[in-house]
Structure 1
Amino acid sequence: MLASRMTRAGVTLALVLIVAACSPDPRIMHIERGQVTPDEFSILPSKPIEIPTDLSTLPPPTPGAANRTDATPREDAVAALGGDPSRLRTDGRLSDDGALIRQTTRYGVDPNIRNDLAVADAEFRRKNKGRLLERWFRVPTYYDAYSASELNQHSTLDAYRRAGVPTPAAPPIVAAE
């Protein structure tokens, strides 16, 4: 009687372990693990408040509408790439900025890039989902999975400096004492 209960308990435990090991969504980085603080990426900085020289030129307030100090990431990105943000259509696409479009598409455009990347990412995550105990205890496997793709910043900087490429943003070379 006791042996049959132990056998059933062992089989049940084995089934639970097998089901737990077959996670359909292999996640490499568990960002929410240990999340007890606010998400700093959910806060967008606003533009500085500007006071015009003539306060009578201010538009009337429109609750719920856009504000002059609201963040405009699409327009800021277009401006950073050398484009004209005023040429953005209301749907966020560029309407007539040929120079920016030529520059960003100079190596070609793949219309299926999102699907291709989604498939490649799902396959990569399936192959790099971590060991059984890592998945059980939600240990991040992100750094192990991507270590082969990691750029060695110091050797790359040295290679650029040897080639004579200016590196003004990098720290200066410190002579050994």
Structure 2
Amino acid sequence: MARTIIAILALTALAACGGGGGLRNLDAGGDGPDEFAINPSAPLEIPENLSRLPAPTTGVANRTDPDPAADAVIALGGNPGATMVGGIPAGDSALVTYATRNGVDPDIRATLAAEDQGFRDRRSRFGGLFARGDRYFQAYSGQALDAHAALARFRNAGVAVPSAPPAP
């Protein structure tokens, strides 16, 4: 009996020594440099003709500044010049022009939030009077898409679709 108690105490003491995070502790601690925060810039380029240097422009990014979005487009085989022109993707400029042809409401987000809250209040029982918490999913349950039924419908129609996780 004494050996069993000693063995249990020894195992408990040994198990207590296993803390500290081990290899899962990725925080080096301290105030040293963070090697993951370093973002290298592009190498400097010396133009062939120094008399034709472009004039500096306020608010425009430096040519050597990193552009992660353009780097990702290049890595995926795309054209970085076709991504953003004036804040709107170049391929979407005609769509934005057509959508804004009758003007733009500057308070559209507040208007939509108020209309959405009104819809949820009308859809919930008793107009949200006795509702606890947010009834968002209950109010929109009739408009929810069954992803697996849609996937099966597209597959049966012969459309090439990506794989999906199994149905719950």
TM-score band (shorter)?
A: 0.3 to 0.5
Normalised by the size of structure 2, how large is the TM-score?
A: 0.40
- Larger RCO, structures 1/2 (Cα 8 Å, 6+ apart): 1
If the length of structure 1 is used for normalisation, what is the TM-score? 0.39
Q: State which structure, 1 or 2, has the greater radius of gyration over its C-alpha atoms.
A: 2
